[in-house]
Amino acid sequence: MNKNKQRMTSKRSPKQNRRIFGQWLFFGAIVVFGVLIIRFSYIAIGRHVNGVNLASATKQLYTEDQTVAAKRGTIYSANGDAIAEDTSTYTIYAIMAKNQRSADGKALYVKNDAKAARVLAKYLSISYKQALTTLQKGNGKFQIEFGTAGQNISLTTKKKIEAQNITGLHFIQSEARLYPNGTFASHLVGLTASKNIKDSERTRLTGSMGIELAFNKQLSGTDGHKTVTKSGYQGTTDSVKKVKNGNNIYVTLDSKLQTLLESKMAEVEKQVHPKTMTATLMNAKTGAILATSQRPTFNSQTKSGLSKMWRNLLVEDTYEPGSTMKVFTMAAAINSGNYNSNITVPTGEYKIGGKTVPDWNTAGWGNITYAKGFALSSNVAMAHLEQTMGAKTWLKYIKRFGLRSSTNSGLANEQIGSIQFTYPIEQADTSFGQGIQITAMQMLRGFTAIANHGKMLQPYYISKITNPNTSKTTYQAKTKVVGQPVTSKTAAAVLAHMQDVVYKSYGTGSAFKIDGYRIAAKTGTAQVSNGTTYETGDNSYLYSVVGMAPAKNPKYIMYITMKQPTLNDTSASEDMAEIFKPVMQRALDEQKASETKTTTIKMRDLTGKATSAAQTTAKKIGVNPVIIGKGAHIVKQSVTSGTVLTRHQRVILVTNGQMYMPNLTGWSASEVADFAALTGLKLTTNGTGYVTAQGISAGNPIEAKQALSVTLK
């Protein structure tokens, strides 16, 4: 049987076998090809393979989902000067790995340690020796950094280092906050810190104190997202979520008054070295804080001094106010019908419940009226008033004046203070500001009732908030009455007593007189408590003063505290007057000037106008035009149309001709920044305040990208 099979098989010729194999191969190829056609048709129509959407997957290869970071809102002064705004800083690092080269073969690592160290020492706060040691220790590592010396580098410094062409030095850009005025209500304005964003390599600036913290949500904005399609795939960019930049905040601080206050505070601090010191100027008719500062303070830009004091003394520090409390004692007694101008009381000391209330003049002044006792700052006279009122009535007025409740400032860690009011001696002590702990903001709020016909106002420091995405104002501050502890008649009577403090021969406030203006004031001296007992010695007091002017109908209130100064040949009142008088006088002078002129000016659009016509128009509306260039037409202006300005505010107008340098003396940091932005100059500043020197002399021609350095003071 096997033989028969062999014969049958062998009957086919090789040619026949090849033909049959070819036929099977042909039909097999047709089947495979058919399957492939069906499969490709399915993919082409359905665009799915194993559950994967091919169209989506292909798009992902050529598209990128990007986050568009929101710009943090700018904080402006009442004058429109930027006092906190976004900028960029850089961190420098050095690549040390010798195998790191670019695509074209150029070295990306540090080739010469000594040369790199010299450049770093020249432009950073690091010595040549430190820089060289750091570089040498980094040999064998991929990359190294230079600690705090290599962080927060400005764009100007970065460019100077790059100009040295040192291989291996590289930079990382970071979002940063610019505080161009340096020391400028630093604890109120606040600071930001860079924090990592969850599930991201990016960072975000977040408020860490002051307004930056209190209004962090409004300032932060909302990031946007966009899908970028790379070249070769339709070449489009699809916005998925539009970025919303943070809101801009306008504070009530007046730039000129604030700068003057900082200057005077610094002078007095240098003279008497107080442990702490505060000063605040407030609009008595609105509650707006026009200037405020404290010592110790810090430079917001450099952070110098920050380690000395983190607390905002305006709301976070409680203290016994001393004799400025007598303003409220007199008001309470008069308003409650317990004040008799005719009776007299003995002074020197007063026994209450076996305890003694002493006067600062232990011998006393004999029998005196309450009015004279107030001007002399007699503790005994005020204790008699408290006893006459009764503790229940007095406590009611303490609460009416808001001295036991929060001012709702919105600032972090605000305190409400405390009071010792159980025993008769404790109740009497509070009448002259001992045994009660308050904040400076509480005192200021209470004082508004005396200055404002009995109506107590809410202190505030934000004037408005605007949305840069819609150009709309989202918040506008309004004067808010938060109580009426006394009548208008009582407030007027207290103001009259406060004038006695300044103008009576025996008054304690003669140092606060200002030529041309009538001042109402009350001084204060309180022993400093260490928590259990009172400190002793010449440097154990907290001195204070509250002043209101003009005395009969105050426009301004200024309150100063000075804790444990080292007094020299001057009195505490004379030292505080060095702050009070120049700041209060400037405020009064500006108020007087504004009352005789139009206060509201709206900027017009002058671009496109003939230069001479634009200059004439600017002067007519009341601003001070500075013409840059000798062109025939205006092409740029520093203030946008519709912006509300103060009279004689400087406005920069750039023409279409050759630009020439103006005299920048007296310009603010923000005005110089606007000028540089308009003209394309590369600006570097040194110092804070107003321009005293400039690198390009007035009258010289200037070109875009030219370097300009200015010194401010």
Model pLDDT for residues 265-310, shown as the tens digit of each residue: 999 999 999 999 999 999 999 999 999 999 999 999 889 999 999 9
pLDDT band at 161; cut points 50, 70, 90 = very high
Least Cα distance to 125 among 108, 149, 89 occurs for 149
Helix or strand holding residue 667 (H, E): none
Q: Give alpha helix (H) positions in 420-571.
A: 424-429, 440-451, 488-503
Cβ 460 vs Cβ 287: under 8 Å: yes
| Alpha carbon separation from 174 to 88, 115, 194, 306 (Å, rounded) | 6, 26, 9, 22
Give the mean pLDDT of 66-87.
89
162 DSSP β-pair partners: none
Q: Could you confirm whether 323 is annotated as catalytic? A: yes
**This prediction's pTM:** 0.73
What's the pLDDT at 585? 94
Nearest to 554 by CA among 605, 591, 583, 580: 591
What is the model's pLDDT at position 690?
80
Tell me which of 323, 431, 544, 638 is the catalytic residue. Answer: 323
* pLDDT category of residue 368 using cuts at 50, 70 and 90: very high
- CA–CA separation, 354 vs 682, rounded Å? 74
Q: Where are the alpha helices (DSSP H) in 567-666?
A: 572-595, 611-621
Of all residues in the chain, the percent with pLDDT exceeding 90 is: 62
Tokens 């309150």 — which residue? 559
Q: Tens of pLDDT along 670-710?
A: 788 788 888 888 888 776 668 889 999 988 999 878 899 88
**Using one digit for the tens of pLDDT, what is the confidence trace for 5-46?**
444 445 667 777 777 777 777 777 787 777 777 766 666 666
pLDDT score recorded for residue 688: 64
pLDDT surpasses 80 at 237: no
| Strand, coil or helix: 443 | helix
Structure tokens at 281: 């100027």
Residue 2, pLDDT above cutoff 50: no
Lowest mean pLDDT: which of 17-21, 307-311, 448-452, 562-566?
17-21
Cα separation values, 402 from 448, 571, 603, Å: 11, 31, 42
> What per-residue confidence (pLDDT) applies to 680?
84
DSSP assignment of 445-485, as one string? HHHHHHHTTT-EE--B-EEEEEETTTTEEEEE----EEE--
Q: Do 294 and 439 form a contact (C-beta atoms < 8 A)? A: no
Q: How confident is the model at residue 59 (pLDDT cuts 50, 70, 90)?
A: low
**Alpha helices, H only, 601-643:** 611-621
| Predicted local distance difference test score (pLDDT) of residue 66 | 64
Longest dimension (CA), the chain: 155
CB-neighbour burial class of residue 333 (10 A; exposed 0-12, middle 13-18, buried 19+): buried
Strands (E) across 606-655 are located at 624-628, 634-637, 644-645, 650-655
d(CA 574, CA 566): 13
Residue 701: name the closest of 600, 629, 653 by CA. 629
Assign 498 a pLDDT band (cuts: 50, 70, 90): very high
User: What DSSP element (H or E) covers 230?
Assistant: none
Cβ atoms of 531 and 547 within 8 Å: the answer is: no
Taking the alpha carbons of 566, 567, 573, 575 in that order, is the dihedral positive or negative?
Answer: negative
Torsion over CA: 701, 705, 711, 713 (sign): positive
Beta strands in 148-287 (DSSP E): 169-178, 191-196, 203-209, 224-229, 237-241, 248-251, 276-283
- Checking phi first, is residue 689 left (phi over 0); if not, alpha (psi -120 to 50) or beta? left
Kindly tell me if the per-residue pLDDT of 602 is higher than 70.
Answer: yes
DSSP code at position 38:
H
Please state, for a pLDDT cut of 70, what percent of the chain lies above it: 91
683 close to 708: Cβ distance less than 8 angstroms: yes
State residue 40's pLDDT score.
Answer: 66
Strand-pair partners of 237:
228
Q: Which residue has the tokens 């001070």?
A: 624
